[in-house]
């Protein structure tokens, strides 16, 4: 018997266009029956956070978890998980705080640049539970820092080392905004994929050409990825939606365990 989990990862740009995000979620068929959504740069307006607002639009069976890890001036910045409780149960959601640049070894020139910037906390939000009542599930939504090639590699390694120490599950998903900026095809971020493969995580979004756009500069970047692993064989189908609600596109995956 095979089981298919419908998944979406989306950086929603600190909820700056929340109304458009909610409209897309409410009316675009790709969001219908999604099992898990992993959000980066979720935010809040008053007492209402973006994740719970999206869950309400998706339907009465959806629940959410929203963790604020930073503030951009007065605007909260959070990672979040949203899930269909009829298909997914999360028994615990944990926050793994990623190291800052003072806590890792980076080249001197890179450290000089990073020291000039105001530091931002970053986290990997980890949901542990079950899918279809029979399969153990772990879903991670991560957001690496903006600058620092070696620094971001060290943050990614910290995520992997944390996951390596946890019990194996039937399905493990690591998704998010990894800020893998390139200029003229450089730097290559292939090492991140090799590092992930060491713990059995495989990138499934290689065929997606770009996920983030700076329209004023006509610049497109591939910043968002989905990695999948676990104790089962799987195959996947991935795609994006070119919609206006953020400077990032929502990235979708149907992951079928066999």
pLDDT at 8: 98
Secondary structure (3-state) at 200: coil
Q: Which residues lie below 8 Å from residue 209, measured CB to CB, with a gap of 6+?
A: 220, 222
CB 136 within 8 A of CB 130: yes
Q: Which residues lie below 8 Å from residue 159, measured CB to CB, with a gap of 6+?
A: 96, 98, 124, 140, 142, 174
Segments forming the whole domain that contains residue 187 = 3-257
pLDDT digits (tens, 9 = 90+) for 1-16: 789 999 999 999 999 9
Give the tokens for residue 159. 């995520």
Indicate the number of domains in the chain: 1
pTM: 0.94
pLDDT digits (tens, 9 = 90+) for 214-251: 877 678 999 999 999 999 999 999 999 999 899 999 99
Could you give the CA distance from residue 100 to residue 105 in angstroms, rounded to a whole number? 10
CATH of the domain at 19: 3.60.10.10
Residue with tokens 């910037």: 117
pLDDT digits (tens, 9 = 90+) for 29-69: 999 999 999 999 999 887 789 999 999 999 999 999 999 98
Confidence of residue 112 (pLDDT cuts 50, 70, 90): low
Confidence of residue 180 (pLDDT cuts 50, 70, 90): very high
Could you give the CA distance from residue 147 to residue 150 in angstroms, rounded to a whole number? 9
Angle at which helix 149-164 crosses helix 108-115, to 10 degrees, equals 100
pLDDT at 182: 83
Q: In what order do the strands lie in the sheet with 171-177?
A: 88-97, 123-131, 135-143, 171-177, 224-229, 202-203
């Amino acid at each position: 018997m095979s089981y298919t989990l419908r998944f979406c990862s989306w950086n929603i740009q600190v909820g700056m266009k929340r109304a458009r995000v909610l409209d897309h979620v409410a009316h675009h068929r790709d969001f219908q029956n999604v099992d898990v959504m992993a959000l980066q740069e979720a935010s809040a307006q008053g007492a209402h956070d973006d994740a719970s607002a999206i869950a309400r639009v998706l339907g009465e069976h959806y629940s959410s978890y929203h963790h604020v890890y930073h503030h951009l001036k007065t605007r909260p910045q959070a990672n979040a998980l949203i899930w269909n409780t009829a298909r997914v149960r999360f028994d615990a959601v944990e926050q793994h705080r990623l190291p800052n640049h003072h806590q890792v070894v980076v080249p001197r020139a890179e450290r000089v640049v990073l020291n000039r910037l105001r530091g931002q906390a970053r986290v990997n939000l980890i949901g542990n539970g079950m899918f279809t009542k029979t399969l153990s599930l772990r879903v991670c939504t991560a957001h690496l820092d903006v600058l620092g090639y070696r620094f971001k590699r060290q943050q990614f390694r910290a995520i992997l080392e944390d996951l390596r120490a946890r019990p194996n599950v039937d399905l493990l998903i690591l998704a998010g905004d990894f800020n893998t900026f390139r200029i003229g095809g450089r730097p290559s971020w292939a090492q991140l994929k090799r590092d992930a493969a060491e713990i059995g995580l495989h990138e499934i979004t290689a065929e997606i050409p770009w996920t983030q756009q700076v329209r004023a500069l006509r610049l497109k970047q591939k910043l968002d990825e989905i990695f999948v692993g676990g104790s089962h064989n799987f195959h996947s189908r991935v795609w994006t939606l070119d919609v206006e609600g953020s400077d990032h596109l929502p990235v979708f995956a149907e992951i079928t365990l066999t």
